[in-house]
Amino acid sequence: MYLKTLSIIFLMFMSILLTPAVTTSLSMGSEPDNVYTTPLIAGQYMVVGEVAVWTSIVDDSIILHVLYNITDPAWYLTEAHLAVATSLYDIPMTKKGNPIPGKFPYKAYDLWVQSYEFTVNLTEMFGLQCPVDESEATLYIAAHAVVAKLDEYGEIIQAETAWGEGARFTDRGNWGMYFTYTVSCETGEMCYLNDDAETSWAYGMPFSGGSWAMYVVYDGGYVTTDLIRAQHYDVGDVYITVDGGQMVINIALDEGYSISYYHIHVATSLDEIPQNRAGNPQIGLFEYQGSYSEITPNITLYLPLDEAEQYAETLYVAIHVGVATYTCSS
């Protein structure tokens, strides 16, 4: 029997698992030995997430990873700007020493995500090679973002500038910050994503069409069900609950599996889930969609519910996931 109701003990565990601190895992699949994290500060005083930095070795090149990770479910990244330099004075700034994010070399606009990653080839950019000379090992990093906050109805109520916490560029004026990172070639275990994503569904009731697609009936509380890959293989768990005006869905895969993409639709009736005439779901029309280019074994999504969904006694949830495998080596 795949569908399970959580016990009281497991409910206590899930209340911890589904806290805002869980959004998405580091893209390396397991935390590397040389990771450095610093808080992501919005509006000078609010911690809304973190910036994680680490390196990997790819084809003899040192690759720097900078991951912006929102940990407060009410906030979203809308822009991200990154500057990486071997000298503080190589970061774009005014004559008075204030940073200029618009001139940072790495930029991302029109975002609406809670996790975003930049990668920088340090071998190509700065000529760094393993083993790294101590005199060249220190990087100066300025991680800037624009973040927006939603209320319980899904409306934007606040927008702020955010910086990865560190030292201020200047004592007066702009409160922008930078931090340093020491490059290391000791990366520990390395994991690589395989190109073998397979269709997977959260186990539940079958649609009326001929495919093996399924939907979950949510009647309240905490519900968990298995994630089935390629129709026959249980590769992880899906946890579903409602918290205020949002549905919280955590997808946690077993070791060796990674989320490549997802399509999710929540409705007050089965007929409201997009389907073709044969009764098979049309995943391209699902309301919530996302994809990941790096290893991602665990995500938590906070999906806003409209008024009808918030007051409905029963919700119908279709969760379609592309699941790939990954391989690790020392």
6-33 pLDDT, tens digit each: 332 233 333 333 333 334 444 444 456 6
Q: How many CA atoms lie within 13 A of 210 on its CB side?
A: 2
What is the spatial distance between Cα 251 and Cα 297, in angstroms, rounded to a whole number? Answer: 8
Distances (CA, A) of 244 to 24, 43, 161, 247, 321: 21, 25, 27, 8, 25
Q: Is 251 helix (H, G, I), strand (E, B) or coil?
A: strand
Boundaries of every domain in the chain: 4-15+192-329, 31-187
Average pLDDT over residues 197-207: 97
- Kindly report, residue by residue over 117-147, the tens digit of the pLDDT: 999 999 999 999 988 888 889 999 999 999 9
Other CB atoms within 10 A of residue 10 CB: 15
pLDDT of residue 25: 40
What is the spatial distance between Cα 301 and Cα 319, in angstroms, rounded to a whole number? Answer: 12
Using DSSP bridges, classify how beta strands 214-218 and 315-329 pair: parallel, antiparallel or unpaired: antiparallel
